[in-house]
Amino acid sequence: MRLFKLLSVGCLSLLSLAIHAQTLNGLYQVREPVASQAPDERNQATQRALETLVLRLTGDPKALQSPGLAEVRKDPQQIISQYGYDAGPPESLQVDFDPASTDRALRGAGLALWGSNRPAILGWWLNDSA
């Protein structure tokens, strides 16, 4: 009976973590520093922004190398809704990715995604057997 109570309290505490999820604003917005507004510099910054976004959404540093994302790597413009330059030091390129197109492309590539509601504290269970 004591074990049952302990397990119940443990499960309830884990469920309460879901209630305290935080919503991330600007999840699909990435800023990348640039040296100039030249087209080559913009293309390189757009590629870096895509890398940052894929890592942010999947949590997997190797996800961008997925064969299913080859088209997106070639032409990231297909999932970009808008971009612009911020003049502040240092100058940066702000890229706004379209959430629906981005999610569709990543899921089509077979990648698991984190949503915008994320727990403030991550917990996991480690079971070590002898």
pLDDT tens per residue, range 92-109: 999 999 999 999 999 999
Q: Would residue 72 count as lying in a domain?
A: yes
Residue 99 amino acid letter: P
In this predicted model, what pLDDT tens digit does every residue of 82-91 receive, in sequence order?
A: 999 998 788 9
Residue position matching structure tokens 């080559």: 40
- For position 78, what pLDDT does the model report? 94
Q: Would residue 51 count as lying in a domain?
A: yes
Q: Would residue 38 count as lying in a domain?
A: yes
- Dihedral through CA 121, CA 31, CA 74, CA 40, nearest 10? -160
Structural domain total, the chain: 1
Over 70: is that where the pLDDT of 68 sits? yes
> Cα 85 vs. chain centroid, distance in angstroms?
22
- For position 116, what pLDDT does the model report? 65
Task: Give me the domain span that covers residue 34.
Answer: 25-113
Q: Would residue 36 count as lying in a domain?
A: yes
SS3 call for 7: helix
Q: Would residue 13 count as lying in a domain?
A: no
The side-by-side arrangement of strands in the sheet containing 29-33 is: 29-33, 92-97, 80-86
Question: What predicted TM-score, i.e. pTM, was given to this entire model?
Answer: 0.72
Q: Would residue 52 count as lying in a domain?
A: yes
Q: Would residue 56 count as lying in a domain?
A: yes
Q: Would residue 125 count as lying in a domain?
A: no
SS3 call for 54: helix
